[in-house]
Structure 1
Amino acid sequence: MDVDLDTEFQRKIMPTSVLYNIATSLGILGNVAVLLVYNFRFKRQEHRYYIPVLAWADLSGCVTNSVYFNTLDVYHVTYPSDPLCRLLSFLVIFNSGVSSHVILIIALQRYLTLCRPFGKQLTARARRLSLVIVTVLALIYGLPASYASGTRGQNMTSTCGIVSEDKKLFQKTYFGCMLFLNLLNILITAGLYLPVVRIVYNSISRLEETTFPENTETNESGETVGGSKVSRALAKHSMSLTVLCIIIVFIVSFLPSLIIQSLAMKQANVENSTSEINLYHFFGRFYTFNHVLNPIIYLGFDKKFRRKIISLLFNHKTT
């Protein structure tokens, strides 16, 4: 009977499962490519310091979320392992915490570079310290999830979730704090980057009105850029535009999940219709796209990264 219930749930949630399996598979490939290029094909540069770190967090997030979602979908009422449930619950929150805070630090770095170029910047020591702080904060976020989560069951069923009723207050307090901290992180990140957007917009507007001699303009990476006025203007601020897209994806991917989690705290039960189950889980898992889409953003805005990827795919040298 329990196996029949598992099979029935798999059938209902298949559209969402297939979509997220495809997404996480693409995310794994993309983030592996980012790590290969940024670690072995690029020289170390301050403005790209956090990109490999973010790729590691996103790669881990894609793998963890894929395993977590598939075990939940396949073993909906016959979850095989309490330690696995606790471990995956911890890793999902830990990876999301690392990723979101690294994005905040990237926004801070761009803010200091463009808005306060003559003020204090993030030194090598400060960058290393920031990663330690991010890791500690993510551990603080994730460890309570491993305490509250686990397998629970009755009448020979076993599901992965909050272990017992006596932890309901803890669940609401914990996830309430997580919702607040995630929203705070989003607001701080956006607040730091709005002045950067204003400076980049004004700079692009000026560049579009300027007549350039051939090959005299350089971008934020120190590379010479050419082409039309618009292409030069965009190329000059490629890194800032890349980070802007990363932040937009981060905010857009997290907000639906936060809304679903807020609703779930008030009404934990989900209706059994196929459409309602898929809508609930599709938007509840939407934060996964924060781990998936960053490599696509690099391909779109980082010309040097794009050339290196082409050289890897077709095995020829690029400059």
Structure 2
Amino acid sequence: MADAETLSEEYSKQLLPNTIVQLIAATFGILGNCLVILMYTKYVKDKMGSRYFIPVLAVVDLVGSVSNATQFHLDNTMRYIYPDVFLCKMMSFLIVFTGGFSAHLILAIALQRYLIICRPFGQQMTQKLCRIAVLIIFLISVGYASPILKFNGIYKLRSLNTTGNYNISFCHIDDGTDSFNVMIPYLGFLLFLSLINIFITFIFYVPVTKTIYDRLSPARRNRAKNVPDGKIVSKETQMSDDGKNITKPKLQANDESMVNGSPEQKARKNISVMFLVIIIVYIVSYLTSLVTQIHSFASTEERKGYIRNIYFFCLRFNLLNHIANPYIYWFYDLKFRNELRRICCRSFRR
């Protein structure tokens, strides 16, 4: 096993920059998601139900950060002497499961924002429907991640060099049996399902983005500001005594709530923008990993040095989807930020 260990050590040294970046990113992801779970379950009150999916997504992202970082670290440092087949199966299962769960939750969030912003007086996602949606997403994600437990495993090879025979073993999606013929259609199905999920998410959020832009556009604000004496002039048609229709000006209070909306409407718009950023991060991170994965199947080119580090950084870029969300919440959700500031100030005073 000395030769296999030496091979793993050389591989680990080549990917040291990649390993350091992933460990730092995973640390931020774990701490951030733990903070989000604490804040949204204990301190941030959600009376409107618009933040229902946030703590659920944080739990999924926490598990995803731990499983992705663990698997990537083992793959970097123990590439050819992977320690345990159960660990290989479980980490790979959790990567597929959390990736799918997170993607489908973001789709549910897009549907929720579409109903709130574009159809505010129609049927909304109640707390009961949100719970049912989470349960369905959980079962679906477990269902299509389960084949990993069967077909993922330790792939063993016996190599021959000038010093003799030695065994190498690494965690792979095919354990050397006939499962390879099964996994190709399976990976194709996962790819198709992911692209459909991205497409439907995009379809839901396009009208949401357009509605938010129309409501916050500078032209609409300028029209309201140009009305003299704080009045908005509109027209109404009335009938005179002789039976003719006449048009008279109608004055309405130029309240700030009519220009920018009520505080509840402002909060909904801000939360919708926040979820839009989350969706953009999810699509960019996933597509980067997906394109790199497809290229790895199509190309047999051997990568070394900084090219290998860049390649693996792009291949594992989906980790960004699990670590970025807490910091997006901090930037956009004023209630989250104010509660966090209040707790920190109170602790500092004590």
TM-score above 0.5: yes
Structure 2 unaligned residues grouped into runs of 5+: 159-166, 226-253
Instruction: Say if 1:291 and 1:150 are closer, same or farther in 2 by CA, change over 3 A.
Output: same
Which one of the candidate residues 179, 183, 195 is aligned to 1:183? Answer: 195
Unaligned runs of 5+ in 1: 226-234
Separation (CA, whole Å) in 2 of partners of 1:315 and 1:216: 36
Tell me the equivalent position of 2:106.
Answer: 103
Q: Does residue 1:68 correspond to 2:71, yes or no?
A: yes
| Conserved? CA contact 2:92–2:152, under 8 Å | yes
Q: Which residues of 2 match residues 1-319 of structure 1 at below 5 A? A: 1-45=3-47, 46-155=49-158, 156-161=167-172, 162-164=174-176, 166-205=178-217, 208-209=221-222, 210-211=224-225, 222=264, 237-267=269-299, 269=300, 271-315=302-346
What code does the residue aligned with 1:304 have?
K
Is the alpha carbon distance of 1:63 and 1:312 closer, same or farther for their aligned partners in structure 2, counting shifts above 3 Å?
farther
- What's the C-alpha RMSD, in Å, of the aligned pairs? 2.1
Q: Assess if the C-alpha contact under 8 Å between 2:97 and 2:141 holds in 1.
A: yes
Structure 1 counterpart SS, 2:46: coil
Structure 1 residues 200 and 85: CA distance shift in structure 2, 3 A: same
- After TM superposition, give the deviation of residue 217 of structure 1 in Å: 7.6
Change in Cα spacing, 1:214 to 1:200, as seen in structure 2 (3 Å) is: closer
Quickly say closer, same or farther: Cα 1:164–1:186, change in 2 above 3 A: same
Residues 110, 240 of structure 1: 8 Å contact kept: yes
Per the TM alignment, residue 215 of structure 1 is displaced from its structure 2 partner at its CA by 8.2
SS in 2 for 1:76: coil
- Distance in 2 between residues matched to 1:13 and 1:208, nearest whole Å: 53
Which residue number in structure 2 is paired with residue 228 of structure 1? none
Cα deviations by residue, 1:89-116 (Å, 9 ceiling, x for unpaired): 0000101111111000000000011111
Counterpart of 1:157 in 2: which secondary structure?
strand
Once structures 1 and 2 are overlaid, which stretch shifts more, 186-195 or 41-50? 41-50
Question: Which of the two has greater helix per residue?
Answer: 1
Secondary structure of the structure 1 residue equivalent to 2:157: coil
Relative distance call for 1:180 and 1:214 in structure 2 (3 A) is closer
Cα deviations by residue, 1:279-313 (Å, 9 ceiling, x for unpaired):
22111101110001011111111111111222233
C-alpha distance after superposition, 1:66-95 (max 9, x if no partner): 111111111100000001100100000101
Q: Distance in 1 between matches of 2:144 and 2:262?
A: 35
Asked if structure 1 preserves the Cα contact closer than 8 Å seen for 2:50 and 2:268, the reply is no
CA distance in structure 2 between the partners assigned to 1:108 and 1:214 by the alignment: 29
CA positional deviation for 1:218: 7.4
Give the distance between the partners of 1:203 and 1:249, measured in 2 at CA: 24
Greater share of residues in strand = 2
Larger C-alpha radius of gyration, 1 or 2?
A: 2
Residue 263 (structure 1) shift: 2.3
Q: Output one character per residue of 1:140-195: Cα deviation in whole Å (capped at 9) or x when no partner.
A: 22111222211111221110002115222212111111111111111110110000
Greater mean alpha carbon deviation, residues 142-151 or residues 211-220: 211-220
Secondary structure at 1:154's aligned position in 2? strand
The letter for the 1-side match of 2:283 is I
The 3 A distance-change label for structure 1 pair 221 and 245 is: farther
Q: Is the 1:27–1:291 Cα contact (8 Å) retained in structure 2? A: yes
| 1:253 and 1:288 in contact (8 A); partners too | yes
Q: 1:216 to 1:49 in 2, by over 3 A?
A: same
